[in-house]
Structure 1
Amino acid sequence: MEKKRKTYSAEFKMDIVHKYLHEGWSQSDLLKHFHIHNSMLQRWVNQYQREGIKGLKEKQGKTIGTNKGRLRKNPSSPEEKMKRLEAENAYLKKLLAVRKGLIRQKKNL
């Protein structure tokens, strides 16, 4: 049976962080009362201090920008196909150079 990942709303997280930072609740009281893990509380507090309420919003599965993630296996345009092939060639050249370098080092020993 799979364990489902529990997610919390930004409002819930903000309420917990506010209680911790401004209302004087202790860490152990929050953990017991709201049944959350210590690492979650610390992560939420750190995110809030770094980014504000925006840091508490769910980010999983959301990418920002056009060039995020893996390259498509079947590029839709010739430019994308060319870019992918150039990247493959560069990778293979580096791999070949490393392998040749290792072979030469072994012969010298």
Structure 2
Amino acid sequence: MGKSKRTFDKAFKKKAVDLYLKGDMSYQSVANELGIDKKQVRRWVGFYEAEGMQGLEEKRGKAKGPAKGRPRTNPEDPEQKIRRLEAENEMLKKLLKM
């Protein structure tokens, strides 16, 4: 089984960012102290510098924009559906006669 993704709250992320931005700790030393990967610390610092506290919010699973959620496929027009089904029936009838 693969690793499950851990999530961290904003306070934990802010603590990691603050430890790094004080200037006396590297990404690796912050990661070692908090028990996380140094790439994660680097990512959080980048998000914080670009967007502030909003950059540290969890973004997974949140839809963006006015049309939130997965886009729906275009439903078939009832007439198109009837034509498609009739064509399928004709094809099946031809196959059964063989």
Measured against the shorter chain, the TM-score band is 0.5 to 0.7
TM-score (structure 1 length as normaliser): 0.60
CA distance, structure 1, for counterparts of residue 72 and residue 27 of structure 2: 46
Gaps of 5+ in 1: 76-80, 83-109
TM-score (structure 2 length as normaliser): 0.66
CA distance, structure 2, for counterparts of residue 70 and residue 63 of structure 1: 8
Letter in 1 for 2:54: K
In the alignment of these two chains, the number of paired residues is 77
What residue number does 1:3 align with? 3
Letter in 1 for 2:18: H
What residue number does 1:56 align with? 56
Larger radius of gyration: 2
What residue number does 1:13 align with? 13
Greater percentage in helix: 1
C-alpha displacement of 1:3 = 2.2
Q: Provide, for residues 66-106 of structure 1, a one-character-per-residue CA deviation record: whole Å limited to 9, x for no partner.
A: 2255431365xxxxx78xxxxxxxxxxxxxxxxxxxxxxxx
What residue number does 1:73 align with? 73
RMSD: 2.2
What residue number does 1:30 align with? 30
Which structure 1 residue ranges, 4+ long, deviate > 4 Å from structure 2?
none
